[in-house]
Amino acid sequence: GDPENAWLHSLHEEALRMQRLIYDLLALARYDALPQAKPEPVDLSNLCQTIALEAYERAYAHRVLIEEDIESNVLAFCEPEDAHRLVALLVDNAVKYAPDQGVVSIRLKRKDHRFQLDVENPGTLTPEQMAHVFDRFYKADPSRKKDGSYGLGLSIAKEIASRNKLALSVTCQAGAITFSVRGKSYKNVR
């Protein structure tokens, strides 16, 4: 191919990468500085289904399958934009790190007055990686420098969760990494 074209292409990629970095840094600054936006009942079931649908195409390109087990009418009380970004970040992260032919599963369950959302992908994390996975700029896999992210996604997810009084944690067992969001759920608002 044309070397000048290749150079322009890589320049364009780098510009996009910087753009995403700046966007993420601004988001973090915003979560650090802004007063809490108004929380309201958010239909998490709908949200998870929408985001799963949006992720199918990207997952397909990564040769990753998405399976969902989403209970209907699960409501959480949080800022709608935050809720969307939180779920999207976790699903995005799972798709990005799942191996070829891997399955990303999105599970949402309600028990009593609590809900639990699990986003799981095949893989393993060492205890050291698990301790740092929510740190800013931390990347569990150093070979992933080129994927256009700077290891900010999960720290943003953590900020969003704590802003909305939700618990975000990670577990790793039997070859699967699971990010879980837990919080209060509400009876359906009709």
CATH at residue 9: 3.30.565.10
Please state which of the ranges 8-12, 114-118, 183-187 shows the lowest mean pLDDT: 8-12
User: CB-based burial of residue 143 (10 Å sphere; 0-12 exposed, 13-18 middle, 19+ buried)?
Assistant: exposed
More confident residue, 177 or 136: 177
The string of pLDDT tens digits covering residues 65-88 is 999 999 999 999 999 989 999 999
Find, among 118, 93, 115, 120, the residue nearest to 107 by Cα. Answer: 118
Q: What predicted TM-score, i.e. pTM, was given to this entire model?
A: 0.81
Sign of CA dihedral 107, 49, 82, 73: negative
Buried residues in 175-189 as b, exposed as e (16+ CB within 10 A): ebbbbbbbbebbeee
Q: For residue 190, give both structure tokens.
A: 């009709």
The H-or-E segment that residue 77 falls in is strand 75-78
Q: How many domains does the chain have?
A: 1
Calculate ∠ Cα 190-80-130, nearest 5°: 125
| Domain encompassing residue 154 | 3-186
d(CA 188, CA 190) in angstroms, rounded, equals 6
Which pLDDT score, from 0 to 100, does residue 110 have?
95
